[in-house]
Structure 1
Amino acid sequence: MNLHQFRFLQEAVRRKLNLTEAARALHTSQPGVSKAIIELESELGVEIFSRHGKRIRKLTEPGVEVLRSVDIILREVANLKRIGQDYAARDAGQLTVAATHTQARYKLPWVIAEFRRRMPAVQVQLLQGTPDQVAQAVREERADLGLASESLQDSPDLLTLPCYSWQHLAVVPHGHALCDRTELTLAELATFPLVTYEPTFAGRRQIDAAFAHANLQPQIVLEALDSDVLKTYVELGLGVGLIAEMAISAERDTALRALPAGHLFGQQLTRVAFKRGVLQRSFVPLFTELISPRLPRKLVEQTLRGELDGQDVFSI
């Protein structure tokens, strides 16, 4: 048995049993991946995959157990490398952050700028995607941490900590009929065309749930992932925008008027996520502390080491 076999097996499962894709990701050949897996099965004396002819179809019952052990072994190998990196170059290296567009555009610029000021030898890589893509990047260890308001808490292999709460705002151009309202109602919003996020993004589920609970059918005329796109169409008069409050700035968005909508759709919670069992470089807790003062560095370090229960220590 060797680490190459383990990596080939792990990547084959990640690529949904497509050995060609696994080989491409690992910069090797498809026959090489297939041969390594067959050799591993021979050494272990069990079939890892059930097959139809030469085509693998699914993990067998012992294959599930083998994969679980392989994941642990490769994670600990990566942890050993991180220990070496941390002590050889304690304040240098790379930090990869996965985040949704809203977090990357509106929350992280100051955080990354301050982090780089304190850690000039650390290169920051920013991956943007949907909440599901953020969670997947952390699970696959392509990102050290992820930042999003959905999906992260649904993954048992991720350790998630609450960062900060926020609300939606109803955003309209100046002169709109809602500009003079002091407190909006769902019934009132339902009479206007609405512009908001796509269904799995930025608290959209809570928006849909609030209208459904009130037995109202909202007129959603445009959905998007990008808050800047939503604001553009609101400015053009396409509809009332239901947009995350961190994306709205009175100084920057001078053509728009924002009205609180937290009483209608509830408070949303942004979380930071780490892969369970992965040893983090010493500068990662500093980064999380910069994201939110609710995540003090020392407590994050203890939580990542398993000394504290994050759900008990961190709450909003």
Structure 2
Amino acid sequence: MLRFTLRQVEYAIAIWDHGSVAAASAHLGVAQPTLSASLAKLEEQVGLQIFIRHHAQGVSPSPAGLRFLGEARNLLTYAQDLQRDTAAAGNAVEGTLSLGSFATIAPAFVPQLISSFTRLHPAVTIRMAEGTQDELFSGLRRGNHDLALLYDVDMPDDLTLTPLASFVPHILLPAKHRLTRLRQVPLVALRDEPFVLLDIAPSRTYFTRILEQAGITPKIAFSSPSLEVVRGLVGQGLGYSILITRPHGDHSYAGDELAVRPIAEDVERGVIALAALKQMRKTHLVSAFETHCVTYFKTSENIL
């Protein structure tokens, strides 16, 4: 016989998400003593201390509690999906989807994906968050993201990937750079040029690897985790860059004209994919969004 209830699990997940009983109480509209009593009963029934209490500073999961909460969230997701299936004969696409996105991918694709999907499924709410690759991995593992849109580079084994599209990187140059006279730029021509690096994982290793595989040690003059700062530095004539994302209109944020040229050699392509935690059971909503993304990226006008 099951020793704990889904309500107890729901309360525990809320305490984890909000970092304290008080914050979870305010979010759920449930009295603090009720939540505290529910948590104490749950810990007694499962035989472990789920949270470590910090005086006046909320709570944090114990190591064993963190494992329990991860599986408990999976159980709660399954129960919620089962309830929706029962209510709508298994065909409903509704609820809230949490989508994480790599910072440079988000502005190019996420608004269109959200808009087109919610037009098809108006009962769906999508919450989005941008981050670095490591932040997205952490968000998936903690259950903060159902899916993450990122580049398929250095992926850990606990994630499953749905490839969406691949892109050839390009060389970004100041508009009046001498190499703009070429239709394609060989990497060797960049050997002595100052390099402006998009300094965010995994982009930094991906772009430097392209140069190193061509036998070039990049002369990094500037680096920034911001795509627009990199484009601005190039626009000011302070170096070249190698990028995948190409905003519409080849001008920097400040209005400097930029030139984009293909790389003459065949180089490693950048693959955009949707990542999910392997251990999480996919809901109808998650599966529907994955299918929508695959269809979206198959449409040629949606590709950079």
- What TM-score do the two structures reach when normalised by structure 1? 0.68
Distance 1:9 1:118 in 2: 34
What residue in structure 2 maps to residue 102 of structure 1? 104
Distance 1:23 1:178 in 2: 61
What residue in structure 1 maps to residue 283 of structure 2? 279
Q: How far is the alpha carbon of 1:267 from its aligned partner?
A: 0.9
Q: 1:25 to 1:137 in 2, by over 3 A?
A: farther
Distance 1:121 1:67 in 2: 28
Q: Which moved more, 1:23-32 or 1:186-195?
A: 23-32
What residue in structure 1 maps to residue 293 of structure 2? 288
Write out per-residue CA displacement over residues 226-285 of structure 1, whole angstroms, 9 at most, x where no aligned residue.
Answer: x333323321223212221x4244xx2162211223847511111012343031227424
Amino acid in structure 1 at the alignment position of 2:250 = D
8 Å contact kept, 1:161–1:273: yes
What residue in structure 2 maps to residue 154 of structure 1? 156
8 Å contact kept, 2:140–2:146: yes
8 Å contact kept, 2:172–2:240: yes
Write out per-residue CA displacement over residues 142-200 of structure 1, whole angstroms, 9 at most, x where no aligned residue.
Answer: 444321115793261x4311111112211112220221345545454342222232231
Distance 1:52 1:112 in 2: 39
Q: 1:265 to 1:9 in 2, by over 3 A?
A: farther
Q: 1:264 to 1:238 in 2, by over 3 A?
A: farther
Of 5, 10, 23, 1:2 maps to: 5
What residue in structure 2 maps to residue 180 of structure 1? 181
8 Å contact kept, 1:79–1:278: no
Q: Secondary structure at the match of 1:39?
A: helix
Aligned residues: 282
Where structure 2 has 5 or more consecutive residues not aligned to the other structure, the ranges are 252-256, 300-304
8 Å contact kept, 2:186–2:264: no
What residue in structure 2 maps to residue 253 of structure 1? 250
Of 120, 126, 129, 1:127 maps to: 129
Q: How far is the alpha carbon of 1:27 from its aligned partner?
A: 3.3
Report the identity percentage.
21
Q: 1:199 to 1:144 in 2, by over 3 A?
A: closer
| CA RMSD of superposed structures (Å) | 4.1
- What TM-score do the two structures reach when normalised by structure 2? 0.71
Q: 1:82 to 1:247 in 2, by over 3 A?
A: farther
Amino acid in structure 2 at the alignment position of 1:73 = L
Distance 1:12 1:173 in 2: 52
> Are residue 228 (structure 1) and residue 228 (structure 2) matched?
yes
Q: How far is the alpha carbon of 1:125 from its aligned partner?
A: 4.2
8 Å contact kept, 1:103–1:147: yes
Q: 1:92 to 1:75 in 2, by over 3 A?
A: closer
Amino acid in structure 2 at the alignment position of 1:247 = R
8 Å contact kept, 2:163–2:274: yes
Where structure 1 has 5 or more consecutive residues not aligned to the other structure, the ranges are 295-316
What residue in structure 1 maps to residue 254 of structure 2? none
